[in-house]
A and B are shown apart, each in its own frame.
Chain A
Amino acid sequence: MKLPLAVLFAAMAFGAGAAHAKTFKWTSASDIPTWDIHSQNNALANGVHASVYESLVYYNSRTFKPEPMLATSWTQVSPTQLRVTLRTGVKFHDGSPFTADDAVFSLERAMSKTSNFTVYTQGVTKVVKVNPNTIDIISGGPNPVLVNQLTELRMMSKAWAEKNNSTAPKDIKTQDENFAHRNANGTGPFVLKEWQPDQKIVLVKNPNWWGKAEGNVTEIVYTPVRAVATRMAALLSGEVDFVLDPSPQDLPRIRQDGNLRVIDGVENRTIFFGMDQFRDELPGSNVKGKNPLKDQRVRKALYQAIDINAITRVSLRGLGQATGAIVAPQVAGWNESVHQRYPFDVAAAQKLLADAGYKDGFEVDFACPNNRYINDEAICQAVTAMWARVGVKAKLRTLPLSTYFPMIQRFEASIYMLGWGVPTFDALYSLQSLVRTLGTGGDGNYNVGRYSNPKLDAVIDRAKTETDPYIRPRLLTEALAMQNEDVAHIPLHNQIIPWAMKKNIDVVHRADNRLDWRLIKVN
């Protein structure tokens, strides 16, 4: 860490000297891969980076609407030009001021070739400095989710990056590490004091932060603990205050423990089944010459044969919210009507199968990950049994995520499980990746069942450029309803993410499974 001593001393003095020094110790399974903010698009790291590096806008932790951070306001000058006014008087941890140059530099850094954040700069063609505290973001076409994208684009000091040879994000082609991989210099409420990869991250409060923290934490210590039993033991023995990913089977015990508590929140991630609707004959199936999954009645039968309440109650131990939509309630485009599921009805499912010509059911290949989503394997086993009741013999195979995802991306699964989070909180993100016919520019990039519906594509394509605040949500809802009508995918549930902590810890549960560092209270 090369920070001016003054800042570090001030920060340490605050940590040690203040009458109410509060340390917040937390854990989860893995460490962040890097401190370089544009190097790897890793969910945990993005959340941790936000403590040190701030973005122009960020989602409010309670409402999930974008709110000003390093930008104070933004206006759409034209459909392709967003004018952003920057906050003045903000200083980086090394004492240098935050200006338009830094903002332009950071956004360009995120757009550069070695960045993994180009997904958040999609559509942006260039960034222009207007004056020392105003920038223009120019996009190739109208981009209704640009402001949402800005929430994941954090700001780095230009001068610092240039001085330390870190102007380009680190990637695997870069020989060894760059300076920004182990060191950090942002504008955020916390200063990176120490990082020992896979062992410990220590953050101390930034005494010169521009904002006002609601929380009272002066030091944050993160220690990744891989084995879940050890993680839970560390909480029970009081060595950590907070566990981001407690084990589901230990939750009842923790809920009953007088010194601990659990906060549940619906994660912005929907679990669903996809189906191969492209092949004319499914490998591994006893139906020859045709693909039963191409028939909407068959898909609906599989849907209605699933007793979702049994799954959320038993397989998930309550950690799931049944849904009929492929997006979670926080996402723009969601409403109560698309959330409604087709009812669980074995007789109806049998009738649909008989109508489709599969009175005696059929055999089909069924693949699930076994270490990606909450109790994924258990869910798939339960569903296999439920489908067996209507005569569909699903041949389940479960794989670890490192082999599962490449496998489904090679289109090898007939029925597969997938969970989809929505970082932009806008249904277009899901519709485009999951439902839109496979194409270019991210279209259908996870539509690995290769579902294709030209009418639905047309609605999705309109939503891509529609910026009108009244028409746009309606388009999204319409597309979600059409996906339900056609049973393009079988939605299951939105994951409920439990956070376990000591009784004296106060945090706000965010739908993106991140802590908001400004709001943590240690009582």
Chain B
Amino acid sequence: MFAFILRRLAQAVIVMVSVAFIAFMLFQYVGDPVVFLLGQDATADQVRELRAELGLDQPFFVQFWHFLANAVQGEFGLSLRQGAKVSRLIAERFPATLELSMVAAVLALVAGIPMGVYAALRRGTFMSQVFMTVSLLGVSLPTFLIGILLILLFAVTLGWFPSFGRGDVTQLGWWSTGLLTPKGWHHITLPAITLAIFQLTLIMRLVRSEMLEVLRTDYIKFARARGLTNRAVHFGHALKNTLVPVMTITGLQLGGLIAFAIITETVFQWPGMGLLFIQAVTFADIPVMAAYLCLIALIFVVINLIVDLLYFAVDPRLRVEKAGGH
């Protein structure tokens, strides 16, 4: 077990360094922040001086080494655009992204699982056909389009929900939350739906096909033969076994939700990390971009690690195999 974790951690470190390296390499092509910092009237000397001060004139590997050395200590330098510590900026934005992702994930699960179960049990009925068709749209429509359509319908035409922003936030220590005020919930509704739709349809389709699969297995036949009620068969036996792969996928998708919140955040001006990243890209704000990518990579790595460990815990065969090795 211990060796297993160590091996995983070593792999995680390699992944992180590679991500940092690739990200850093890409940044050589995003443009020159000095142009933005000095404006249109800077002289060539001023540009040269600033480049030297920022260390941008040093060779690639020297810059990368400095970056790594600082990143290990959680230090990503100063944002070129906002002049504040990157760690501070990200810490300010992280709660917004996490809340949005969590609400979206819960929404996807709460709506997706029942819809999937329904579509599997009542296969061929009108409603399940509707679910399947809508889910096809959800999988194929790009997020920004869904967001814009929701804004058009619910903000502009009906005026039920606000089109942008986070509403009122409450400060709990360093954590800012919008979930304690009605206005905050009002604001999170449309972005959360937008972000959840893809996951929701994915979960629904997954639950449906898993459920259909499970319903064909022998132990369900036995359960029926034992004269159990439909309810006990469907929800007590079938659904439980259906949920194992669903949990795995959901766990992995959680990283995706956080990472791909970029688009939703941009459409709804949601003040999270994704919006910070997009703004950093337009400004060629390298420290912010680097920190963001590394953080996202870290989130993925950690989630993967947890899932691996869960497999280890859940799947008895893995443990048996290990035990047999001794």
Contact = CB atoms under 8 A, between A and B. Distances in A.
Contacts of B29: 403
Interface string B29-56: 1111111111111111000000001100
B83 A171 contact: yes
Interface stretch (A80-88, A221-229, A375-383): A221-229
B83 A116 contact: no
B151 interface: yes
B148 A402 contact: no
Q: Interface size class for chain A?
A: 35 or more
A198 B275 contact: yes
A119 B38 CA distance: 10
A249 interface: no
B46 to A, nearest CB: 9
Interface centre among B38, B151, B276 (most CB of A within 10 A): B151
B162 interface: yes
Interface of A: 30, 33-34, 39-42, 116, 119, 170-177, 181, 196-200, 223-227, 229-230, 233-234, 236-239, 371, 400-403, 405-406, 409, 433, 440-442, 445-446
Interface of B: 29-44, 53-54, 78, 80-85, 88, 92, 144, 148, 151-152, 155-156, 159, 162-166, 266-269, 271, 275-276, 278-279, 281-284
Nearest to B268: A230
A176 B39 CA distance: 21
A34 B163 contact: no
Contacts of B284: 402
Is chain A's binding surface mostly helix, strand, loop or mixed? loop
A233 B276 CA distance: 21
B269 A230 contact: yes
Contacts of B276: 198
A219 B43 CA distance: 40
B85 A176 contact: yes
A229 B43 contact: no
Contacts of B166: 199
Given A230-B164, A237-B159, A442 B43 contact: yes
A81 B148 CA distance: 58
Given A176-B85, A181-B83, A227 B78 contact: no
Contacts of A440: 43
B279 A172 contact: no
Given A34-B83, A233-B152, A405-B32, A239 B163 contact: yes
24 contacts: A33-B81, A33-B83, A34-B83, A172-B78, A177-B83, A197-B92, A223-B269, A226-B275, A229-B148, A229-B151, A233-B163, A234-B163, A237-B155, A237-B156, A237-B162, A238-B159, A239-B155, A239-B162, A401-B31, A405-B35, A406-B31, A406-B32, A409-B35, A433-B41
B75 to A, nearest CB: 11
B248 to A, nearest CB: 34
Given A197-B82, A237-B162, 10 more contacts: A30-B279, A177-B83, A199-B166, A199-B271, A230-B164, A230-B269, A237-B156, A402-B283, A445-B40, A445-B42
Ranked 4 nearest A-B pairs via Cβ: A402-B31, A406-B32, A119-B41, A403-B31
Contacts of A371: 282
B175 to A, nearest CB: 15
A227 B274 CA distance: 13
Given A116-B39, A227-B269, A405-B32, A239 B164 contact: yes
B66 to A, nearest CB: 15
Contacts of B267: 227, 229-230
A199 B89 CA distance: 13
A170 B83 contact: yes
Contacts of A34: 82-83
A403 B30 CA distance: 6
A172 B83 contact: yes
A177 B84 CA distance: 6
Nearest to B271: A199
Contact of B88 (A39, A176, A225): A176
Contacts of B40: 433, 445-446
Contacts of B42: 445
Contacts of A177: 83-84
Contact of B269 (A176, A226, A237, A446): A226
Interface centre among A119, A200, A233, A239 (most CB of B within 10 A): A233
A230 B83 contact: no
Nearest to B37: A172
B43 A236 contact: no
Interface centre among B148, B155, B276 (most CB of A within 10 A): B155
Given A176-B78, A237-B159, A402 B282 contact: yes
B151 A40 contact: no
Contact of A172 (B39, B54, B88, B275): B54
Nearest to B31: A402
B83 A39 contact: yes
Contacts of B281: 402
B41 A445 contact: yes
A123 B54 CA distance: 28
Nearest to A39: B83
Given A116-B39, A171-B83, A176-B78, A234 B164 contact: yes
B215 to A, nearest CB: 44
B279 A237 contact: no
A300 B161 CA distance: 56
Nearest to B154: A237
B165 A199 contact: yes
Contacts of B31: 400-403, 405-406
Contacts of B41: 41, 119, 433, 442, 445
B168 to A, nearest CB: 11
Nearest to A230: B164
A139 to B, nearest CB: 17
B269 A225 contact: yes
Contacts of A223: 164-165, 269
B278 to A, nearest CB: 7
A238 B80 CA distance: 34
Interface centre among B31, B85, B166 (most CB of A within 10 A): B31
Contacts of B279: 30, 198, 226
A433 B39 CA distance: 13
Contacts of A229: 148, 151, 267
B266 A227 contact: yes
A321 to B, nearest CB: 22
B271 A198 contact: yes
B39 A119 contact: yes
A433 B164 CA distance: 40
A382 B84 CA distance: 42
Contact of A226 (B38, B53, B54, B266): B266
B163 A237 contact: yes
A173 B278 contact: no
